[in-house]
Amino acid sequence: MSEDDKKNQHPMATLLKKIPQSQIRKNQEIEAKIVSLSKKGVYFDLGSKAYGVLGREELQEISTYLPYLKKGDKIMVKIITPEAKDGNPVVSLKKFFYKGKWEILKQKKEKEEEIEVVCGDYGKGGVFVDFMGIRGVIPKIQLTEEYLNNPNKLAGQKIKVKVLEADEKKNRLVVSQKAAALKISQEELKKRFDKIIEGKKYQAKVLGVSEFGAFCEVDGIEGLIHISELSWEKVTNPSLYLKPNEIVEVMVVEKNPQTLKLNLSLKRLTPDPWEKIEEKYPKDKEIEGEVVRKEKYGYFVRFESGVEGLIHSSKTNKKELKIGEKIKVYIEKINKKNRRISLLLPQKEKPVTYR
């Protein structure tokens, strides 16, 4: 090598050539100190015998993390190749990359800054997304109206979102396309949330209906009417009660300050039919009801919306009843706490229970 070549040689390359071969092993994890850091290369002090070089594939990712790393930092690396063609060990930062991604997500959440994600398929929980290998979701309610009715349009797109939840322990990432698109700040949401009062009535817009209830928006705040809060009667299909874009009056049952979400109710805007149940349906009176369904253990008879009783199969005297049939029954027992009524069919003589 000429004198000029020696002068022009990169100082790090010269340093690396002076390091003797190390005795490190493949797949070994070791704490290393960063001695040089740039988009072109990252070098690590692995001890007194060797310097490690970040592999080419991972080097392509390093620009994302440069603001979070500095010369002199100690970091866990994994040995991929103890001695490559140039004589230097090749190391991996995959563990740090995974941990570092969560740190970035937490910081972005705190600062309310946007991140870019790649959208996948739409499923039960919403639109699935990928952030540098971390799988997350955009809940349907966190989509703008453009995508609310057709979330599959997002598949394959790169979009900007805001981080709503980043929990590394639960491996849970929740983001909002709506918050990024409409430039909604958490501070503004918090102000709106604080103005909402539990127990008060509000106008709500239905954003979507699922098998477990209806997603709504109250003054810009996300809320859920759970299937159990749609009606006093048993509900099996929420879509029969509410439709997307419908405006309904609801009661705010509960506020969750951690998630800034509301639990809402339709049924609590009407009187509870069980409030004076024993007065309305006394034991000594024959009552007419409609047979509404048959189960393995008996027939259910409805007296009014939200009030049903059971004729147990052991008390039907093997009599077949028809769905929709109007029948006369007696109240055997009322359990107001559990909202259960036991019924008896009329006999030629009044049952012994009632004598």
**How do the pLDDT tens digits run along the chain, 355 residues long?**
455 554 444 555 544 444 444 477 888 888 899 999 888 889 999 875 668 899 888 888 787 777 778 899 888 899 998 887 777 899 998 888 777 788 889 989 999 999 989 999 998 779 999 988 889 999 988 998 889 878 999 999 999 999 999 999 999 999 999 999 989 888 888 999 999 999 999 999 998 888 899 999 999 899 999 999 999 988 999 999 999 889 999 999 999 998 889 999 999 999 999 999 998 998 878 899 999 999 999 999 999 989 999 999 988 877 889 999 999 999 999 999 999 999 999 876 555 554 4
Distance, in Å, from the CA atom of 122 to the CA atom of 143, rounded to the nearest integer, reads: 12
CATH architecture of the domain covering 194-269: Beta Barrel (2.40)
At 22 the pLDDT is 47
pLDDT of res. 308 = 93
Beta bridge partners, 130, equal 118, 135
List residues bridging with 147 in a β-sheet: none
Which H helix or E strand runs over 120? strand 114-122
pTM of the complete model: 0.62
The CATH code for residues 277-354 is: 2.40.50.140
Q: Return the pLDDT at 349.
A: 52
Classify domain 101-181 at the CATH superfamily level: Nucleic acid-binding proteins (2.40.50.140)
Report the pLDDT value the prediction gives residue 355, as an integer from 0 to 100: 46
H or E element: which one contains 214?
Answer: strand 213-218
Q: Is 287 helix (H, G, I), strand (E, B) or coil?
A: strand
Which part of the chain is CATH 2.40.50.140?
3-92, 101-181, 194-269, 277-354
Class of 3-92 per CATH?
mainly beta
Kindly list the distances between the CA atom of residue 201 and the CA atoms of 193, 204, 220, in Å, as whole numbers in the listed order: 14, 9, 15
Contacts of 96 (CB under 8 A, 6+ apart): 65, 75, 76, 77
pLDDT at 17 (0 to 100) = 46
Q: What's residue 346's pLDDT?
A: 86
pLDDT at site 4: 52
What pLDDT is stored for residue 348 in this prediction?
Answer: 60
* Contact predicate 230/270, CB 8 Å: no
Q: What is the reported pLDDT for 325?
A: 93
- Please give the pLDDT value at position 47: 79
